[in-house]
Structure 1
Amino acid sequence: MSALPYLAGVELGGTKIFVLRARGREIVERVSIPTTTPAETLGAAGALLRRWHEAEPFAALGIGSFGPLRLDRAAADFGHMLPTPKPGWTGADIYGALAGVLPCPAAIDTDVNGAALAELRWGAGAEGGTPSDCLCYITIGTGLGAGFAMQGRPLHGAMHPELGHIFTRRAPGDGFAGACPFHGDCIEGLVAGPALARRFGVPGDRIPAEDPRWDDVAHDIAQMVGTILLTTAARQVLIGGGVGMGRTDLLDRVRTRLVAQLAGYLSFVTKDTVGAIVRPPVLGDQAGPLGAVALAMDALEGTGRV
């Protein structure tokens, strides 16, 4: 039997939750549960974790959740969901409902921060023999979320990054009003799945690659990526999710526009290097689950936000 202890992981998404156990970074069992109400969803996940723990104890738990989350350990509502468009989830005690069922160290972060951490350690950030010191992971799907891993740790401050709600310079002639219920034409309101459906009149996956309306979408995403590179000096910007990983043709357009928009100001971003900088996640759809494992490892080592 492996000498590595069992680690528990939870990846909580808007439509489903993955509950998993792993030895080291190897996921050995994973169960999917629909995301319904907090009581039902977190109750089912907690019951499964408890059963697994009784069969063979966990050494630590990592939780990666959709947000926004309160991650300040000094706050009375640490680990709770902040105001969210997800009906019924505002105020839900994510950390308490899951960590409370296991007598082991636990850490919680956003799902995208966890994915960024996994990519930093085992994916794009670990390629080439020299570990990366700054990486951004973006998922573009139903919403747009971004996480950052810097110097081996997820980025936190007053909160966690909420890149989906920044504003970018619009493409000339683009009159689309945006679809974000909070901000209209923030970047999430311009390029996430529901925004594409409203912009195009049909879901984005039904629009052919050659449709010129993709030019405005590529412009918007390139504006966001340029902002990331200019403000954080990230070595990689990984674009995942249904929109990000589902359209390689869109990613090519983004790269072309990014180089043009930067106009040579960042010498490390050229037409020859941009493909290695702006790319899909190396871990693919495993970045999220492995992010929960990475958070559990940090909790076990005493470096997580427990």
Structure 2
Amino acid sequence: MAKLYGSVEAGGTKFVCAVGDEDFQIVEKVQFPTTTPYETIERTVAFFKRFEEDLAGVAIGSFGPIDIDPNSTTYGYITKTPKEHWSNVDLVGLISKEFKVPFYFTTDVNSSAYGEAMVRTGVDSLVYYTIGTGIGAGAIQRGEFIGGTGHTEAGHTYVAVHPQDRANDFVGTCPFHNGCLEGLAAGPSLEARTGTRGELIEQNSTVWDVQAYYIAQAAVQATLLYRPQVIVFGGGVMAQEHMLNRVREKFEGLMNDYLPTPDVRDYIVTPAIAENGSATLGNFALAKKVSER
């Protein structure tokens, strides 16, 4: 009997559910909006029920914060999230109780980092950032996730404020922190500064250099903390074709040759897997891993 592996990419905007075969090729994939927990989880369960007979394991990569400590009483929960109605939701428990297979639970960015490392030859140390509606990062060191009692929250590290933002008294859009990376560089910060959605802002606007300044600081932090082989930037903000070179240029200026890194064109990159498929591939592999324990 052929084995199938399940992937749930639980995002704040949409859920992407997929099943893959033993070669991690997608058999079927579906996405739907993230509405109420009850409705969204019901649709997730209904999708996997169709493949239940052959399902060997499922991995869930979720928006957060989440509890990934197996010894915690709230393991599997989405915890204190700004996503309305989703705080303290037992995501893993509500899905897994419907199936007799093991589940792997991690962050959506960890899933993406795992998938990206899989397709990059010789890479077992990598950091993956998503720069979109929010900012998160997953880090892999020697093939294992970075984290102890919980997952990292790299999107909420503090960064040096750009002079243009300082002059305008702009402290960001994060409801928890003034001056953190997410508040200053995630998609909503563009509209907060300009009154215009990011995809409608002209490429020659100075706001892109402000944005790149913060994203480059994230790359500096990742370099100093983890010394990865590759830093991958995904998400809607980095889908702007001009952004990658802006970030690379500012990274080189900020690092100022302090540490040796690979050629910036090989070191700071966008995802190798098209259409945000990194998380799905990573989840298939994590589902297989948990099924074999």
TM-score (structure 1 length as normaliser):
0.90
Provide the rounded CA distance (Å) in 1 between the counterparts of 2:147 and 2:164.
37
Q: Does 1:177 align with 2:171?
A: yes
After TM superposition, give the deviation of residue 145 of structure 1 in Å: 1.1
| 56-65 vs 134-143, which moves further | 56-65
Counterpart amino acid of residue 240 in structure 1 = G
Percent identity at matched positions? Answer: 36
User: After superposition, what is the alpha-carbon deviation per residue over 1:35-60, rounded to whole angstroms, capped at 9, x for unaligned?
Assistant: 1111111122112212321xx32111
**Equivalent runs, 1:190-269 vs 2, <5 Å:** 190-244=184-238, 246-269=239-262
> C-alpha deviations, 1:139-175, integer Å up to 9, x for none?
1111111111222122221210111100111223432
- The residue aligned with 1:144 is 135
CA displacement at 1:291 relative to structure 2: 2.3
CA offsets 1:17-39 (integer angstroms, 9 cap, x no match):
12211103101101222211111
Provide structure 2 residue ranges, at least 5 long, that are not aligned to the other structure. none
Is the 1:49–1:101 contact (alpha carbons within 8 Å) kept by the matching residues of 2?
no
> 2:290 maps to which residue?
299
1:227-285, Cα deviation, whole Å (9 max, x unpaired): 110110011110011111x112111011011111111111225xxx0011101010131
- Counterpart among 269, 275, 278 of residue 279 in structure 1: 269
Give the match's secondary structure for 1:258: helix
Asked whether the equivalents of residues 22 and 293 of structure 1 are also in contact (C-alpha less than 8 Å), the reply is yes
Which SS does the other structure have where 1:42 is aligned? helix
Amino acid at match of 1:111: D
Question: Which AA in structure 2 matches 1:31?
Answer: V
SS in 2 for 1:115: helix
Are 2:164 and 2:210, in contact at CA under 8 Å, matched by a contact in 1? no
Q: Report if the CA contact (8 A) 1:114-1:294 is conserved.
A: no
1:75 corresponds in structure 2 to 72
Q: Which residue of 2 aligns with 1:5?
A: 3
Shift of 1:4: 4.7
Q: Deviations over 1:205-224 (max 9, x none)?
A: 11111112222111111111
Out of 147, 152, 160, which is 2:151 matched to? 160
What is the alpha-carbon distance in structure 2 between the residues aligned to residue 249 and residue 296 of structure 1?
36
Q: Give distance in 2, aligned partners of 1:4 and 1:196.
A: 47
Match for 2:21 among 20, 23, 26?
A: 23
So what's the TM-score if we normalise by structure 2? 0.94
Paired amino acid for 2:69: D
AA of the residue aligned to 1:274: V
The amino acid of 2:196's aligned partner reads V
RMSD across aligned C-alpha pairs, in angstroms? 1.4
Gaps in structure 1 of 5+ consecutive residues: none
Higher mean displacement: 83-92 or 11-20: 11-20
Which letter maps to 2:268?
A: V
After TM superposition, the runs of 4+ consecutive aligned structure 1 residues lying more than 3 A away are none
Give the Cα–Cα distance (whole angstroms) in 1 for the partners of residues 42 and 277 of structure 2.
24
Q: Distance in 2 between matches of 1:227 and 1:28?
A: 38
Match of 1:298, SS?
helix
Shift of 1:115: 0.7
Q: Which residue of 2 aligns with 1:107?
A: 104
